[in-house]
Amino acid sequence: MKIRKLKWNEWAVVTLLLTLSFFVVLMDSKEVPENETEADGVVVRSGTSNDAPTIQKAIDQSVSNGTGVVTLAPNQTYRLQSGIVIKPKVELRMGAGTKLVVDGNFRAITLQKDAAIINGTIEVINKGFKSEVVFVRGTDTYDASNETRMDNVRIVNLSKTYGGTGLSLYAKGTWENISFVNFTNLTVSGFNVGVQLRSVRPDDGKTYSWVNANRFVNFSMEDCVTFIDVAGSRTIPNENSGNLFLGLQIQPTERTVRILRVDGMYNKFEGMVWDLHRIKHQNAIVNFSKNSESNRLEIMNIPAKRVSNLGDANVIR
């Protein structure tokens, strides 16, 4: 069999096809990064238009292999176009300079009981965002030994449309509750509601739900329409009691309508609010509802005339 020699232009076509094939393979390998299992957990590499499936796979893998740690590499940007669920006994660690970018209107992160988020920045960039960035649901029984926590995380809405909620704790169903959870050293900025605690009376009319005994310590909050909203009742069947907000540093802007709105009992709010003159109205910026009792406000630079107190035995200093 005689083999014909290729002409120069035919060689050029072959070379071009081989080069294109190489780049296709290279791009494919970048779009579907492999998770790496190390001694202290699963390391996730960024590289797709939606890193959520890769991160979720790593979370599931850390559950199955028992490591319980998922690490997002330092100085990397991970894009979420769908939500992720951090499962019990899993700690999501973000390295220095790591960002999770939320591009869409969906619940970005569901934090289950005994799960944790440590370090990093979560940025919302979608102008239509109206959901929750970090969502905690009281479907499990939270006792004092639970390990659910967040520490040193920035939650920022960069869209400038002031939609959605930065951190949401929600209990509604039969015996749903969220208690004894620690949120420390968080920054929350640019949302319609910065932090919301909400308990809803269960539909059966016989059981209870509650969001009680949680700690929110050393929060820096800026540029929200409402910074903190505690919604429910002072007691059962839908109770919000004994939550501590300590070390608050709050910076309102011209978009701000309210610093606090409070239902519930024995909740404490301590810290500072800066530049009240930036708030465009002169009405109350702290609202204790008729469903509030024995709460304590220790934000020294809020004048008494800017506090509406319709509840019972609330202490305002």
- In whole angstroms, what separates CA 27 from the centre of its chain? 31
Predicted pLDDT of residue 18: 46
Query: Which residues of the chain are modeled with pLDDT < 70?
Result: 1-41
Contacts of 169 (CB under 8 A, 6+ apart): 136, 138, 178, 181, 196, 197, 198, 211, 214
Look up the pTM and report it: 0.88
Bridge partners for 189 per DSSP = 156, 222
Predicted pLDDT of residue 35: 58
Predicted pLDDT of residue 4: 53
Give the span between the Cα atoms of 71 and 58, in whole angstroms. 9
Predicted pLDDT of residue 49: 87
Please report, for the chain, the start and end positions of each structural domain, with discontinuous segments joined by +.
Answer: 104-316
Predicted pLDDT of residue 48: 77
Predicted pLDDT of residue 45: 80
Residue with tokens 């939650």: 155
